[in-house]
Structure 1
């Protein structure tokens, strides 16, 4: 991304960006996890297993439910219902796993993005490849690389986070984050913590490329045209735009990932592609955009909180190490 330089004028070092990305992502996670919990509840709502008690014949011959029987409708109503029935604390289910995930995930995918991007640009230029004027294809490659690599470190934390966010009062499967790790490993084997790793690699490679490249390009365009200086308003606008682009591109993979995580132990789906196929039969293309509004609210809010904080952390730590 377009790296904001600290007052000293030096480009932040890799360790500074690595630490800043992890801490900034944790701040964003704490701010947005209620929206993320609402998104997960909306995404898994309406599955055939959950609606077996109220089947309705459809043209596809698949059990469905009239909208009036759906418990959650809209992100803010969903948050209100969860708070009323399960307590406000339920909105923060999975936060510990979420923070663990960001520390080992965001540090890699965001903190190393600039280094990988510059490596690709320098390498391909050395091979005589000129590419586009913005090197957008190499930026995408860098985003895909760091996003996919980061999943190798964070997959178990992602599984635990989603499982805990989805559990409801009266149907508690895990008493806490550590219990979730132990229970999944004991009942499903260690491989249970890596369920859905391939769709998650796909999802995070797409999300990371969309998020970082769109932020990079929007911020670069703003600075090049002198619409804003390299400060908080510029970071805010760039992050908001990145959040919208990412939601549109990544929602289908995100919904499939969530439903696969929640039902992998039950044998409902044979794999991620089977899950996607079942969803298509149940609801067509719109099925892949369940929870779009909470996803957008969460991603735009998360991006704003993360990138604005990330830029400030980079300047603060760069000043400390000078």
Structure 2
């Protein structure tokens, strides 16, 4: 007998996914933001001029210089914007994914295949990319201003006082469209990245459980699955994230890059392939730790809500 997929939707499930995604997002941010700050600093530092050294020679050097110049609070710079929104972004990510799961199920409660979870992840990535772009832009400009201040880059001639100050300057310089600078690479990161992450997460859970029923998995298994799933996100899209970062910290009035492909060409021309993997180390550490925390918090919260 044919079942209308709309019958699988339950508003209670939507709110459970929203609440669980919010908790998961908060856990992800608290654990991962310092690593993300170092990642953005390394990604956004300009190529060294002939005869000059890079500002940061590696991740640990970036950590040392950040703490020496800004204190430990410098590792949490730019956290205001994502703190106010990342929980909401994860709520959207997990709730959209949950509703796509409902559409793909043959009947309520039926488990999905790894391929179906991959499709759900990609669809959720589309939704979250549009919301994430302005948040990412504000965060990156705050995180990178210390890196670019001494490089002669006009981007950071203005010293931002906080997320609201960044938004005000961007709106004055480029209007609403300015907040969506870097939307193309953000979309190119979120769609395949979330497809990989949710697909790998489901595959690992089924592997650990020995079948499609993963309801009895312990927290240790969820931590491992979540951490490796997060790593798969960045392994699949890291160069795209580098392009996104340099575009989002670029100057509005005198831009260095005319678009995504131009940024890619210029990075490759000046730094080669390694320029597309700046900050890769801290990004991978962050992805494992932050996503392990995120998925565990989501699963535990979702389970407690019934």
**TM-score, L = length of structure 2:** 0.84
The residue number in structure 2 matching 1:219 is 205
From 77, 83, 88, the equivalent of 1:93 is 77
1: CA distance between counterparts of 2:193 and 2:165? 29
1:44-123 to structure 2, matched below 5 A, reads 44-47=44-47, 51=48, 54-55=49-50, 69-120=53-104, 122=106
* 1:309 maps onto 2:297 in alignment: yes
From 129, 153, 169, the equivalent of 1:151 is 129
CA contact (8 A) 2:35 2:285 kept: yes
1:244 and 1:156, CA in 2 relative to 1: closer, same or farther beyond 3 A? closer
Deviations 1:201-241 (A, max 9, x none): 11111221121211111111111269995121011110121
2: CA distance between counterparts of 1:121 and 1:290? 41
CA contact (8 A) 1:210 1:245 kept: yes
Deviations 1:51-89 (A, max 9, x none): 4xx326xxxxxxxx6xxx122233233112101112211
Measured on the aligned residues, the alpha-carbon RMSD in Å equals 2.5
Describe the SS at the equivalent of 1:314.
Answer: helix
The residue number in structure 1 matching 2:167 is 181
1: CA distance between counterparts of 2:13 and 2:71? 43
2: CA distance between counterparts of 1:116 and 1:177? 33
2: CA distance between counterparts of 1:24 and 1:303? 9
1:1-322 to structure 2, matched below 5 A, reads 13-47=13-47, 51=48, 54-55=49-50, 69-120=53-104, 122=106, 135-168=113-146, 173-224=159-210, 229-265=216-252, 266-318=254-306
1:19 and 1:228, CA in 2 relative to 1: closer, same or farther beyond 3 A? closer
1:317 and 1:117, CA in 2 relative to 1: closer, same or farther beyond 3 A? closer
Describe the SS at the equivalent of 2:146.
Answer: coil
2: CA distance between counterparts of 1:218 and 1:317? 24
CA contact (8 A) 2:247 2:263 kept: yes
Q: CA deviation at 1:310?
A: 1.1
Q: CA deviation at 1:26?
A: 1.4
Aligned residue pairs total: 282
2: CA distance between counterparts of 1:108 and 1:146? 8
Q: CA deviation at 1:14?
A: 2.2
1:264 and 1:196, CA in 2 relative to 1: closer, same or farther beyond 3 A? farther
